[in-house]
Structure 1
């Protein structure tokens, strides 16, 4: 039982920690150097050179559970929903039929961009380290562990990958500067990946026995991959995830992706935009891959009874995370693509912008749909303050704040949607099921943008 509880607790923390796409508050901020990451048709007001490691740090988590659905206060301490002091009704009330979450972390290592002489064509190069994690756990698994009732459990899993992204982007005007098209080509160096998935985990508990029927697969790819294989009582080789060590010191996968974007001025102060990002794949080499399967049909008949004659859960380790090695294979995985569609209207001589952004993020186990409304206040050209409100997949909401400063000597951007939320001491939101933090720091270079000249002239 210890193994199952550890697996579930780790999955629950992933689902509740809930940081997949960049902060939506930056989408309509004209001065932000990170804006073009959401739509390659966009560009900052000047060229830039990012501060290595600080040019773009982006941490995002989204899911359909919040911390207050996983951790409960009991007698002055916090316990998980699996604790005996938490009733089954309290533990299960906030759970969905399918509980999913995903995390995306990006760190810009090198970044620079500049306008051409006409101030309208823009190109940029960025080298970024990325890591993604997402997972799923069905309601039936939590229900079984709390109530002990027989149930058929399907699709428990988690995936993770990390890679280096080298991207070259270019955007240019058409239709007398009313339409801007942007393209970013990205060469990908896969560093490590893994996938754990149980398509079946049927559990039954009767008066005199406990039965488990589990079928799962596990595979991992990385350089310098070490596995401490053991031999069971039947003479068969096996290992568990904790028996694996890896040091991703070199690429073991290669791929390509593209971002496509467009921005069209319907009116001088009304702009619609659309982008599709991360259309691509990484092919992971067979030589650095290890694959294993788990097929368990376990029956336990021993039960413990306390002094009052009350039946307790049996003390045993189900060993469902024991995997038998199988033939290694090459793996090709698609990236987690996303779609951004926005519309913005400028007011008060373009000093105030009202924006509406729709975002779809395609994960391994689910697709999340968010709608974000924002108000952008730009009293002077180098200062922008944004407030946003996001409705997350009809299951939650988030209030965000963002600040962008781009005078002649620095370009600084920071945004988060947990500033106004109730949060723990570790700054993890308690009731909010999304968290993001974005930070960017760069040095402006080259000529200023002339993209807005037509719109500003028309507005005046």
Structure 2
């Protein structure tokens, strides 16, 4: 069975990736490896209190580009195959063995369209206009098992029991306009904050809350046998006995399909199409010419850094506290609660009349076969997001809706050596993305002899399952970094950060260091 429309949700991801001019599949909008690199300003993305040694002006668009793809179980190539709708990838035994019961996928992309920072007296000011996207999904192993077994065994749908509930997709895309201020309170304490106006590009929440199916139905061979004249040859007593036997078999047959889903979308230019004669969604259509601001919001970052002793500094921040309110006019609501398919064997058993055995059994078989084919048409298309199965009915949005930002908690500690030119540090982050928060613990060693030259080596133990490492390098105006080095197609987490900036103003001596 071909899977040309395996997951419509990931096609939607592709549409929005193009819409956002995102060339990379993109779990974090910052680089953990940069946190203890004093010569770079990019660490302010993790904590607004961590001021750089000099002011800066980032080159437009390419000044700070970050893209990451991460999963709790799937490898990089697995994710690319799903998004690209690769043929038969789910048939691989290695792929199926890597899956957990629930498989989380987080993708995001961020770039600074325009950003700069400068010192003014005791204060460090910063300004940015940036693009942010967050994509999160939950895919269950039962879904891939369903696709695999339905494809491998032609008549598997006739005798099966699957529950593929719990699939979820979340997309959030917005433009951020931020103004930040950091101030050194004394020789030990520095605090910082950034306020952000948010222009919502789009938001989508799709939940397949319930998709469960089970069946016990006769095969075509059995139906053909029971319909043939030769089956009904023999004495009248034998014919009656056969009718009674089939009546008992019919009573045990059944097929059930229960569906429940909901879609909330706030994207200008996104239309939920309905075919003529159908009162439910049959396609998604996106008109990039209608793209615009679909909502407005507010966010704030707060941070602090405290020097406990000359060589030991601790820091903490909370990022992206805020929300976006999506306009009623840009919002589409759809829900799927179609009447469940409930094929009961008793319906066909009651049609059997031993006094008119052959014709009554034939009529019962014809009805059973017709009902079974309708059931088959829904469950064997190789699509989890099967429009005909879901029957998403569009409803009017009664009011605007809100979505919260993916907030992040950051805790750090570092110890410096050799007049603070060499440091080791530990960093804890929890990012409250959908559908489930992602936590990371990163250890790093940092060599920072000059403002124009910093290098860091990091090791993040959770998201990459301890199978990757990170690097950061600042060389003059260029910064390159990764938290998760790409080490082959089955890497669970991969990311890259590129920044190019122009120094502003004279060198600022950090009184804490």
Question: If the length of structure 1 is used for normalisation, what is the TM-score?
Answer: 0.83
Q: Please state which structure has a larger fraction of its residues in helix.
A: 2
1:101 aligns with one of 81, 98, 105: 105
Q: Distance in 1 between matches of 2:289 and 2:321?
A: 28
What's the offset of the Cα at 1:286?
0.3
Aligned to 1:324: 393
Aligned to 2:165: 154
User: Does the CA-based 8 Å contact 1:53-1:107 persist in structure 2?
Assistant: yes
Matched, 1:422 2:491: no
* Change in 2 beyond 3 A, CA 1:241/1:448: farther
Q: Distance in 2 between matches of 1:140 and 1:271?
A: 47
Aligned to 1:137: 139
Pairing 1:346-425 to 2, within 5 Å after superposition? 346-393=416-463, 395-406=465-476, 411-419=477-485, 421-423=486-488
Aligned to 1:435: 494
Q: Please state which structure has a larger fraction of its residues in strand.
A: 1
Give SS of 1:45's match. coil
Pairing 1:287-306 to 2, within 5 Å after superposition? 287-296=329-338, 297-298=340-341, 301-302=372-373
User: Does the CA-based 8 Å contact 2:460-2:483 persist in structure 1?
Assistant: no
What's the offset of the Cα at 1:159?
1.2
Matched, 1:59 2:103: no
Give SS of 2:96's match. helix
User: Does the CA-based 8 Å contact 1:23-1:60 persist in structure 2?
Assistant: no
Give SS of 1:146's match. helix
User: Does the CA-based 8 Å contact 1:18-1:101 persist in structure 2?
Assistant: no
Aligned to 2:264: 219
Q: Distance in 2 between matches of 1:44 and 1:322?
A: 54
Q: Distance in 2 between matches of 1:303 and 1:327?
A: 30
Deviates more, 1:180-189 or 1:315-324: 315-324
Alpha-carbon RMSD across the aligned residues, in angstroms, is 3.0
Structure 2 unaligned residues grouped into runs of 5+? 15-24, 151-159, 219-253, 344-370
Give SS of 2:162's match. coil
* Change in 2 beyond 3 A, CA 1:225/1:381: closer
User: Does the CA-based 8 Å contact 2:31-2:43 persist in structure 1?
Assistant: no
Aligned to 1:36: 44
Aligned to 1:253: 295
Q: Distance in 2 between matches of 1:54 and 1:68?
A: 24
Question: If the length of structure 2 is used for normalisation, what is the TM-score?
Answer: 0.75
What's the offset of the Cα at 1:21?
3.4
What's the offset of the Cα at 1:374?
0.6
* Change in 2 beyond 3 A, CA 1:215/1:121: same
Larger Rg: 2
Matched, 1:228 2:273: yes
User: Does the CA-based 8 Å contact 1:18-1:434 persist in structure 2?
Assistant: no
How many residues get paired? 419
What's the offset of the Cα at 1:241?
4.2
1:333 aligns with one of 393, 403, 413: 403
What's the offset of the Cα at 1:293?
1.4
Q: Distance in 2 between matches of 1:241 and 1:396?
A: 41
2:177 aligns with one of 166, 169, 176: 166
